Amino acid sequence: MSEIISRIQMKEFLKKAHLFCLLATLPSIGISVSLSQGFLILSFCFGLADQVKSGNWKEILPNHPVSKISISLFLWYGIVFLIHLVLDNSSGYAKAAWNGELKDFFLFFGLLSVGFTTKDDLPKVYRALFWLFLLLVFTGVAGGFTPVRLSRLISDLYKTSSSYRFTHPLGSLSSIPLYISIGLMNTHLTFGGLLQFFSAFAVFGFLRTLIQGDKKKILLAGLLLFLYCLVFLLNQARSSMIGAGVSIFFAGVHLFFIRKEFSKSFLIKGASLFLGLLFLIGLVLAFSPAGKKVIGPLFGKEKHTDSGRTFIWDSSFPLIQEHPIIGVGPGNYNKEIENVRIAHSEEYSELSYFYEVTQRGHAHNDYFHLASVFGIPAALIYLVLGAILIAYLFQSKQDFQQLLFFYGLIGFFVSGLFQCYFQDDEVVILFWILLGLFVKGEVLISKRDNT
């Protein structure tokens, strides 16, 4: 009897520990990448132990086309790594590959860990997701009005900084100084990548409150939408803004014309209110030098990073051309792109300075980077993942409030055309968790329909 009780207690401990760590992962994404990764790995380990102890082997890998395509992408990662491990004679290649793109495998635990949850756990997970949204908005507002990087509040707790980096100034609005908003992140691109996942949630969540007519909810949702738009404008990440726009467009098509969550007559009212809000924010910003810096790039004003992307892409194309199937291998991108840049600098001496100073860490395009490192098949698998996700999302029967969190996944595949968000740990953790939530919802609905 005591043995049975101890087994039950252990099972309950594993379940609770898994759920606690998963819930802690979500808000910690907006605080610290190391913290969120730690909670994610613990969540996966506790969840896996629970599944193994219960004998639920079939539940470890979700049975859904989206998850199968996701798994195939990482299987291709492994195949490419093993091929390069055999071909590469250097003793340190495995370590270089692990420090490069190969460690992204652990971020995939987000999809698997969500798969270990039960139907009763999901409302708690969505609440944790909402807390992440609030954390991003309010730290984004705070970060837009202070020169001190808020991330120092976290990093200074466990390490001594050798340098003191400030937030980039945008000027001032009247006598109020404005800064590029990065929240608790280290770069505005990472923060923008996280923000764009919540675009449809902020916009259509507010529209739903207008239909419901609860004045308190309208006020709160409207305030959150206003702050969200303000933070997004102060963030200045145009790639994520494009992704957010695409997410809102697809969400509008789906919710208005397919699911019919809103009447078509409400389309004009809702669009007018949303565009009016953006116009109001833009109008206020347009009457100051800082505001012009904020909204100018959105209307075609060139930024200093624009030409840099073309040099990065130009340096990546030869890698794809020379290694179309297996790429240059994980951990080799920086080394190989350096060789290309030296060759291009010798051929085009007048451009040698630009090849020297532009960024080297990634291709500034998810598809180019995947094709460069893992070959064209990896980029194609990634594209197929996006296409299958859209197909299943548009025929999904999941609840309205849940669906609002998934449209940002569509924009993620678009914003990756201008930035390597699929290589950004904080953003990718959220990507896989959201994908896992979508798959979990689809699996539960399928089981319900089959019973």
For residues 312 and 314, what is the distance between their CA atoms, to the nearest angstrom?
5
Range of 364's domain? 306-374
Residue type, 416: G
Does residue 329 lie in a domain region? yes
Give the per-residue pLDDT at 104: 76
Query: Residue 363 pLDDT more than 90?
Result: no
Least confident of 213-217, 220-224, 238-242, 307-311: 307-311
**383 within domain boundaries:** no
What pLDDT, on a 0 to 100 scale, did the predictor assign at position 270?
A: 67
Q: Judge whether residue 370 has pLDDT over 60.
A: yes
pLDDT class of 382 with cuts at 50, 70, 90: very high
pLDDT higher than 70, residue 159: no
Q: Is residue 451 part of a domain?
A: no
Whether pTM > 0.85 for this model: the answer is: yes
Tokens of 305: 């990073």
Q: What is the dihedral of CA 266, 268, 272, 273, to 10 degrees?
A: 0
**Helices assigned H by DSSP within 323-397:** 333-347, 352-357, 366-374, 376-394
The reply to whether 247 falls in a domain is no
At 394, is the pLDDT very low, low, confident or very high (cuts 50, 70, 90)? very high
pLDDT per position as a tens digit, 262-300: 887 777 766 777 677 667 766 666 666 656 665 665 555
CA distance 124 to 143: 28
Instruction: Please report whether residue 316 resides in a domain.
Output: yes
Instruction: Give percent of the chain with pLDDT exceeding 70.
Output: 88
Continuous H helices in 287-332: 289-295, 306-322
CA 279 → CA 180, 285, 286, distances in Å?
20, 10, 10
User: 170 by DSSP, 3-state: which?
Assistant: strand
CB 154 within 8 A of CB 185: no
Where is average pLDDT lowest: 155-164, 190-199, 305-314, 347-356?
155-164
The pair of structure tokens assigned to 171 is 């000027």
Residue 174 Ramachandran class (φ > 0 left, ψ -120 to 50 alpha, else beta): left
Mean pLDDT of 69-74: 93
Residue 317 domain-assigned (yes or no): yes
Tell me if 295 is assigned to some domain: no
Mean pLDDT score of the chain: 86
Identify the residue with better confidence: 57 or 116.
Answer: 116
| pLDDT score, position 60 | 77
Q: 384: Cβ–Cβ under 8 A, 6 or more apart, which residues? A: 69
Determine the Cα–Cα distance for residues 192 and 364; give it in Å rounded to an integer. Answer: 15
pLDDT band per the 50, 70, 90 thresholds, residue 161: low
Decide if 445 is inside a domain: no
Give the separation between CA 421 and CA 428, rounded to whole angstroms. 7
Counting the structural domains of the chain, the total is 1
Q: For the chain, give the longest Cα–Cα distance.
A: 81
